[in-house]
Amino acid sequence: MPTGSTREKKRSKSTPFYQQGWFVGLVAVVGLVSSVLAIYGGLSPMIWKPPKRVLENVEIVLDRSQNMGQPFSDGKTKLQAALDALKSVLRNEGLAQTNLAYREFGGACKAPELKTEPTVAFRQNNAETILSKANELTTRRMAEITGKEAMLVDAIYQAIGDFSDDDRFGTVSKRIIVITGDTDACNLQLANVREKLQRLQRGPRTIELDFKFIAVGVEKFDEAALKAIADQTNGTLRFVYNQQQLDDTLHDMIMEEPGQSAADATRDMLDASVHRLDQVADDLDSKNYDAGADHLRQARDEFERAKLPFEVLGKRQTDERYQRIFVAAQKQRDIQNRLLAAGEAMLSSARSADADSLRASRETYKKLIAEYNAGSDEFAKVLAQLRSSPAPAK
């Protein structure tokens, strides 16, 4: 938590490319071609935009192998139970801003280096598309599933590759949820999985994947093999033996854990911003104004970064627990915005050697710090309540 004192620390020109002849000519050609297409093909010129970065990214990986046709709970097969659990969770309004993807696995064993695309690619507001695609499994005859091997290690290998775009997936939450009714049937090497994970972590942005495994009605003698796979990914593994356990586990992994992560991220980013402002105050004491300006910029950057998790909390207002979290977070953001303004005022007054104005802005800053600290205590309380209170009945 930030301290009450501002003195204490807590935590040769070339011609631009757009003016060069080759570029001007290229633009003219592209414009001509686009116009012709628009006139004769009824098409409008389009500008490609890269997918935006989203805080919460979840890929669901579902086993469709022959083992999923076995009886599980309430007269259902493992597959039907898994699909029912997906329907229960994916229709939650809180998932609207989550970047969702879906991948099925099960088929003839093959080398994991053969790249396959996900069944449904990443996109926001993707839940209904995923449910529609997954529901096709129930309309197929069981004969189409029978004989398909549980290519679990291959599915993990492929899912890791779905997060390889570090511009899109760097520094955001990335979760792979694997629902399986069996261990791997193809004897693929786990070392391949670990090596691929390590390659992602050597990119420009470190890409850490959070693996969650749900073992549906798995026999006791297969548990050790599944634990070994989970350990290789540093993932967690839950065994479920009836529909209620499956529903609750999937809800926790898709809804509860990301919501709590968003709350934690909001708090941590705001605290980081205030810590930068404490550095600004110290910079002014040492008359290092350039450093103060740099720390002030960093503080504002941290504040802007906190918008993403804050928006995630805002999408969960149907849950009273997240209403309390959102109100507490909103209060902290409002105080933080005023703190940034006070920091700007302190720096400006110090640069202009306006002692009276600097004294007034420092006093404002101290009062806001005290208010922020009190709000941090309240934020910590509602976060603890969130973790200790159960989710409302679904």
The pLDDT of residue 240 is: 96
The pLDDT of residue 348 is: 94
The pLDDT of residue 42 is: 47
**In this model, does residue 199 exceed pLDDT 90?**
no
How far apart are alpha carbons 372 and 338 in whole angstroms?
10
The pLDDT of residue 259 is: 76
**In this model, does residue 43 exceed pLDDT 90?**
no
**In this model, does residue 342 exceed pLDDT 50?**
yes
Q: For residues 105 and 134, is the Cβ–Cβ distance under 8 A?
A: no
Provide the pLDDT confidence category of residue 292 given band limits of 50, 70 and 90: very high
How does pLDDT run across 91-132, given as a tens digit for each residue? 887 677 788 999 999 888 876 557 889 999 999 999 999 999
In whole numbers, what is the pLDDT of the chain averaged over residues?
80
The pLDDT of residue 179 is: 97
Domain boundaries, the chain: 56-241, 260-388
Q: Which fold has domain 56-241?
A: Rossmann fold (3.40.50)
Rounded to 5 degrees, φ, ψ at 95 are -90, 0
Residue 248 has, within 13 A of its CA and on its CB side, a CA count of 12
The pLDDT of residue 333 is: 92
Predicted structure pTM score: 0.66
**In this model, does residue 23 exceed pLDDT 50?**
no
Rounded to 5 degrees, φ, ψ at 317 are -75, -10
Instruction: Tell me how crowded residue 220 is: count the other CB atoms within 10 A of its CB.
Output: 7
The pLDDT of residue 172 is: 77
Residue of 195 and 59 predicted with greater confidence: 59
**In this model, does residue 163 exceed pLDDT 80?**
yes
The pLDDT of residue 224 is: 93
How far apart are alpha carbons 268 and 126 in whole angstroms?
29
Residue of 180 and 113 predicted with greater confidence: 180
**In this model, does residue 322 exceed pLDDT 90?**
no
Q: Could you check whether 56-241 and 260-388 share the same CATH topology?
A: no
**1-5, 113-117, 143-147: segment of lowest average pLDDT:** 1-5
Q: For residues 166 and 207, is the Cβ–Cβ distance under 8 A?
A: yes
How does pLDDT run across 236-289, given as a tens digit for each residue? 999 999 999 999 999 888 887 777 778 888 888 889 888 999 999 899 989 999
Q: Which fold has domain 260-388?
A: Four Helix Bundle (Hemerythrin (Met), subunit A) (1.20.120)
How far apart are alpha carbons 268 and 260 in whole angstroms?
12
